[in-house]
Amino acid sequence: MLCPLGRLSTPSARLRRSQAGSADCVQSKLLPGKEAVKLSSEPLIAPSHPIARLPGEWEACVVGWGEPAYRGRQIFDWIHRQGVLDPGEMTNLPKSLRQRLEDEGVGWPMQVVSVHESSDGTKKLLVAMPDGERVETVLLPQIDDAHVVTQCISSQVGCAMGCVFCASGVAGLKRQMTDAEIVAQVLLGRRQLTPDQRIRNVVFMGMGEPLHNYEAVARALVLLTHPAGIDLSKRRVTVSTSGLVRQIDRLGRDFHGQVQLAISLHAVRDADRSRIMPVNRKHGLEELTDALRRYPLSKRQRITIEYTLIEGVNDSIRDAAEMVELLRGIPVKVNLIPMNRISASELRAPSGGHVTRFQEELTRRGLSVFIRKTRGDDVAAACGQLAFHGESRRSATHRGSA
Ligand code: SF4
């Protein structure tokens, strides 16, 4: 008897389904069961791969195979708590069940191709999926406590948003990543840690716009924060978006504002933002800031505003003053990020002194502001830089002025 959630499809079938987009996914709803997660907007999509199943879904599977339900919870524990994806190593399962899991295709949905370690401890993993596509994920030990690690993960192969300062945007969207591929980055990331390190924060700031792949990201969020698995605190998972307003509302409803939200702002006037971030032509700043005001934050939470400082583009004192007005009444903290140079663009960061002056102006006007230290410079740790290394590039500035 087949698992009631369906046998693992072939990589090419999964790819076709990913490329078909969300309409396909929404038709294959999660089977009802005690694990069915009550997202406010609609049920989670069905898992794309066995490793994306929740404990209740595993229970339904194994009961369908004639095994007791607790075996399902054991399998989830092996995969998500212990990071063991080879059924042969799941030693407390009967041999017949291990064989069944092999037949179902339980295993890694991606492999690490290379690990680049920076002199500052940052590790960048290039991972490959069965169809040959590659993405990257970065492990960033905390500067003052290297035992605590933040992992930056990708959600799409490439990105459709076309931000001019971003290497991922230069190449365009190749395909969506599946829920399993998104979570597997963290499972693979854990294997790179030293015994005294742990991943405490996960940020969706790698390749891709996570809210443009909402269904897969939503299931990944449920898996990453499941108490029987990786068990990250929702407040320690940050979804960063360029400003997809409807999906910001949906994320707020589905996760009750508990998932941290970060906004890539990068400019404070519509004309300027539309030039460097094409998404702004569809959802302007007024619409975006209205969505931020609606996001259901708890009292002590704040939305993170990401602001890449680009010399001569968005780094004037007038920009600082207008940012304060734009964000008035929204609980925020601002991260200033001196731009990482990408070879596709002539744009660059302002001088260190100018970055400090910009920060002081915002602070003087009442905002909490941090300057994000550029990490992993020697391993090209800005999103998209490694996976697209060597691909043909268009002029980033042309994309921004279209
Ligand atoms: S900054 Fe983010 S949204 Fe913009 S192109 Fe890069 S990955 Fe996509």
Q: Same domain for 19 and 128?
A: no
- 14-18, 132-136, 328-332, 353-357: which range is least confident on average? 14-18
State the pTM of this model. Answer: 0.85
Our CA angle for 287, 290, 291, nearest 5°, is 90
Domain membership flag for residue 389: yes
What SS3 state is found at 295?
A: coil
Q: Indicate whether 130 and 96 sit together in one domain.
A: no
* Catalytic residue IDs: 136, 383
Q: Do 34 and 118 sit in the same domain of this protein?
A: no
Closest atom, ligand 1, to C-alpha of 277: 4
What letter represents residue 308's amino acid? T
Nearest to 160 by CA among 263, 244, 220: 244
pLDDT in tens, 309-363: 999 989 999 999 999 999 999 999 999 988 877 666 677 889 888 999 999 999 9
If you write DSSP's letter for every residue of 44-103 in order, what string do you get?
A: PBPPSSGGG--HHHHHHHHHHTT--THHHHHHHIIIIIS----GGG-TTS-HHHHHHHHH
Of residues 14 and 297, the one with the higher pLDDT is 297
User: What 3-state class would DSSP assign to 20?
Assistant: helix
Instruction: Give the burial class of 401: count Cβ atoms within 10 A of its Cβ; 0-12 exposed, 13-18 middle, 19 or more buried.
Output: exposed
In the predicted model, is pLDDT for residue 62 greater than 50? yes
Cα separation of 128 and 119, whole Å?
24
Helix (H, G, I), strand (E, B) or coil at 275: helix
Domain membership of residue 229 (yes or no) is yes
pLDDT in tens, 241-271: 999 999 999 999 999 999 999 999 999 999 9
pLDDT higher than threshold 50 for residue 216? yes
Tell me which of 75, 104, 133 is where a domain ends: 104
Helix 214-224 and helix 179-190: axis angle, to 10°? 40
**Which one-letter DSSP state was computed for residue 172?**
-
Residue identifier of the C-alpha nearest atom 4 of ligand 1: 163
Q: Across the chain, what does the average pLDDT equal?
A: 85
CA distances from 218 to 24, 108, 178, 321, 399 (A): 16, 20, 11, 36, 30
Atom number, ligand 1, closest to the C-alpha of residue 166: 6
How far apart are the two ends of the chain, measured CA to CA in Å?
55
CA–centroid distance, 78 to ligand 1, in Å, is 34
For residues 288 and 265, give the distance between their C-alpha atoms in angstroms, rounded to a whole number.
10
- The mean-pLDDT minimum among 26-35, 45-54, 96-105, 143-152 falls in 26-35
Return the pLDDT at 252: 96
Residue 247 falls within a domain, yes or no? yes
Burial class (CB in 10 A: 0-12, 13-18, 19+), 329: exposed
Query: Which residue is listed with tokens 């990331």?
Result: 189
87 vs 397, residue with greater confidence: 87
Domain boundary among 104, 130, 145: 104
Please check whether residues 231 and 377 belong to one and the same domain.
yes
Residues 258 and 290 in one domain: yes
Domain count, the chain: 2
If asked whether residues 36 and 142 sit together in one domain, one would say no
> At 160, phi and psi to the nearest 5?
-90, -5
Distance of CA 148 to the CA centre of its chain: 19
Q: Which atom of ligand 1 is nearest to the CA of 170?
A: 5
- 39 found inside a domain: yes
In a domain, 1, yes or no: no
Q: Would you say residue 400 has pLDDT above 70?
A: no
Angle between helices 317-326 and 352-364 (to 10 degrees): 40
d(CA 14, CA 48): 7
Q: Do 99 and 116 fall into the same domain? A: no
**Distance between Cα 383 and ligand 1 center (Å):** 8
Residue 264 CA to ligand 1 center (angstroms) comes to: 8
Residue 368 clears pLDDT 50, i.e. is over it? yes
Whether the pLDDT of residue 379 is over 60: the answer is: no
- What residue owns the CA closest to ligand 1's atom 5? 169
Query: Residue 45 — pLDDT band, cuts 50, 70, 90?
Result: confident
Q: Are 212 and 222 in contact (CB under 8 A)?
A: no
The residue out of 74, 104, 134 marking a domain boundary is 104
On the question of pLDDT at 12 being above 60, the answer is no
Ligand 1 atom at minimal distance to the Cα of residue 212? 3
Tell me, yes or no, whether 3 lies in a domain: no
Residues 100 and 160 in one domain: no
Max Cα distance, the chain (Å): 68
Of the pLDDT bands very low, low, confident and very high (cuts 50, 70, 90), residue 206 is: very high
Q: Are residues 205 and 292 in the same domain?
A: yes
Q: How far is CA 235 from CA 31, 224, 225, 388, in A?
A: 28, 12, 10, 31
Q: Does residue 54 sit in the same domain as residue 88?
A: yes
Q: Are residues 79 and 224 in the same domain?
A: no
Tell me how far CA of residue 393 lies from CA of 208, 209, 250, in angstroms.
17, 20, 34
| Residue 299, both tokens | 């009292």
Provide the residue range defining the domain that includes 239: 111-400
Residue 155's nearest CA partner among 242, 225, 220 is 220
Asked whether the predicted pLDDT for residue 229 surpasses 70, the reply is yes
Residue 25 confidence (pLDDT): 25
Is the distance from CB of 138 to CB of 152 less than 8 angstroms?
A: yes
pLDDT at 393 over 60: no
Ligand 1 neighbours, Cβ below 6 Å, are 159, 161-163, 166, 168-169, 207-209, 242, 264, 383
Q: Which residues contact 199 (CB under 8 A, 6 or more apart)?
A: 139, 149, 150, 151, 186, 189, 190, 193, 232
Residue 125, beta-bridge partner list:
115, 137
Which CATH number does the domain housing residue 331 bear?
Answer: 3.20.20.70
Contacts of 20 (CB under 8 A, 6+ apart): none
Min mean pLDDT across 223-227, 246-250, 374-378, 391-395 is at: 391-395
d(CA 190, CA 230): 10
Report the separation in Å between the CA atom of 174 and the middle of ligand 1, taken as the mean of its atom positions. 13
- What CA–CA distance (Å, rounded) separates 279 from 402? 12
Same-domain status, 210 and 334? yes
**What CATH number is attached to the domain comprising 52?**
1.10.150.530
Tell me which residue has its CA closest to atom 7 in ligand 1. Answer: 208
In this prediction, residue 166 carries a pLDDT of 81
Do 396 and 345 form a contact (C-beta atoms < 8 A)?
yes
In a domain, 5, yes or no: no
Q: Residues 369-387: what's their mean pLDDT?
A: 59
